[in-house]
Amino acid sequence: MELADRAVGLLLSVISLSIFTYYTFWVIILPFVDGDHFVHKYFLPQEYAILIPVYAGVALICFLSVFIGYVMLKSKKKKS
């Protein structure tokens, strides 16, 4: 089981690092590259650099709120 946990941890670390690298390059470096350069075809328009994290954050807050509410209701029923 320890090997499976390490593999999952490594996979999550690699995915997180690649998303971080892609986003950092997209937001920080890409604005300084000429607009007709071939590298621009691999990235979405700059507006999405703000919209995607905002929507992801709102979705995460909604999910956490529903989860916390569910756990609170479930624990309240156990006490009764």
Q: Are residues 56 and 76 in the same domain?
A: yes
pLDDT tens digits for range 30-49: 999 998 999 999 999 999 99
Number of domains in the chain: 2
Of the candidates 41, 40, 44, the one whose C-alpha atom is nearest the C-alpha of residue 53 is 44
Q: Are residues 50 and 80 in the same domain?
A: yes
- Is residue 11 predicted with pLDDT exceeding 70? yes
Calculated CA dihedral for residues 22, 39, 33, 25, nearest 10 degrees? 0
Q: Are residues 2 and 35 in the same domain?
A: yes
Q: Are residues 80 and 69 in the same domain?
A: yes
- Confidence band of 7 (pLDDT split at 50, 70, 90): very high
